[in-house]
Structure 1
């Protein structure tokens, strides 16, 4: 009998990975981390941007050292909160952004998805503005770029149908749309907090009208007539 062989067998028996304990521990850590992030988002919405880790620990049902064990510092927790909020926004936005529907409806539903998410998630707009002390903002920038890239693809498909060969224009347009929707949403939230805001349906419709006017103007510049009720250009005018 080999001594080294016996040691190898014993080591394998003592290895937590051999019975899945390591995997279960990783899953537990992931759930605990999500629990803390979810609690922090609730505290942000309830208590505002000056919330403390003691409040988060109480809401999550953990001790403050547990938060530091998972995140290291408040900035890391803020990044995790921004990432979770961005993921939730994507879950709402992406399906409607790519839904096969009339052009105006697709734009409207995408704008309304953003407004609706912020309406249902108090305080989250602060994360997207990077105004919380210690927030680094890389996650927010990455989320903005992701949305802009999705818009670039969508507008690029419209541009092909309109026979528009201006990729730089599409890239700039996509960025401007992300900025316009974000700035309008922040303005709307400030007005609502002050008790002086238009209804969400009005804001979504008017912002959609403005975006559609850009599409219509670009199409007209290239001799194409488009309809808000159709996903495709409906008639090409002779040039």
Structure 2
């Protein structure tokens, strides 16, 4: 006979503790990479966290899983900053420019972390994969809502969103690697590119993107739940 075991909440408390501890270890990894550069070791991360490597591996199966968790952390930082910027009340082009500026500011705040993640991508498993999917899904919803309000076919929202993510990743890596221009100049060039891509897309459908600035069209957009 099977005995029914009453759930006393210990399992949920352990899950909550585990997630909290993982977040603390990810924060330690970010600090270690910020200060030590892209070649920082697992031992360095463990030391920053004040734990041994075996303890670190209780929470992450391997180095790739830890990098993936850092990648999701970075994606959420980018997403929060960009979405807040593009949803702020302002003319449409200014919101696009603000979104790009927020992205550049975010990666500039943790250049070693960002470069570590994109270089890991080129060398094998992509630690940014889940994070990029999250960003693209949010962008797709925002684009779909925007084009829907303009009466434009929004079927392309998903590939357009993934294209924006790819452009941002590639251009961001180039700038952080080269630093051959100022942040202001890079932000301006990237903003112009993104704006004209969006403006050109709507123009193909005979719609002026600046129509979003008219009061009868503008309606609040909501953030996707994360």
How many residues are aligned here? 213
Query: How many angstroms does 1:116 deviate by?
Result: 1.0
Classify 1:28/1:45 alpha carbon distance in 2 versus 1 (closer, same or farther; 3 Å).
same
Unaligned stretches of 5+ residues in structure 2:
217-226
Classify 1:135/1:233 alpha carbon distance in 2 versus 1 (closer, same or farther; 3 Å).
farther
Please tell me the root mean square deviation across aligned C-alpha atoms, in Å: 3.2
- What does residue range 153-164 of structure 1 map to in structure 2 within 5 Å? 153-164=141-152
- Counterpart check, 1:144 vs 2:132: yes
1:60-92, CA deviations, whole angstroms, 9 ceiling, x for partnerless residues?
A: 111222112222322222222222222222222
> Quick check: which has more Rg, 1 or 2?
1
Q: Could you say which residue in structure 1 is the equivalent of 2:74?
A: 85
CA contact (8 A) 1:53 1:64 kept: yes
Please, which of 185, 193, 199 is the counterpart of residue 172 of structure 2?
Answer: 185
1:194-234, CA deviations, whole angstroms, 9 ceiling, x for partnerless residues?
A: xx3x2222222222222222333334444444439x53599
TM-score normalised according to structure 2 size: 0.77
Q: Could you say which residue in structure 2 is the equivalent of 1:199?
A: 182
TM-score normalised according to structure 1 size: 0.73
Give me the whole-angstrom Cα distance separating, in 1, the residues matched to 2:174 and 2:123.
24
Please, which of 80, 88, 91 is the counterpart of residue 102 of structure 1?
Answer: 91
Q: Could you say which residue in structure 1 is the equivalent of 2:160?
A: 173
Secondary structure of 1:227's aligned partner: helix
Q: Could you say which residue in structure 1 is the equivalent of 2:60?
A: 71
Q: Could you say which residue in structure 2 is the equivalent of 1:237?
A: none
Query: How many angstroms does 1:25 deviate by?
Result: 5.2
Q: Could you say which residue in structure 2 is the equivalent of 1:5?
A: none
Please, which of 98, 112, 122 is the counterpart of residue 111 of structure 2?
Answer: 122
1:160-189, CA deviations, whole angstroms, 9 ceiling, x for partnerless residues?
A: 344332613x33322222211221111111
1:32-83, CA deviations, whole angstroms, 9 ceiling, x for partnerless residues?
A: 3222211111212222333222211211111222112222322222222222
Unaligned stretches of 5+ residues in structure 1:
1-7, 235-239
Give me the whole-angstrom Cα distance separating, in 1, the residues matched to 2:190 and 2:100.
8
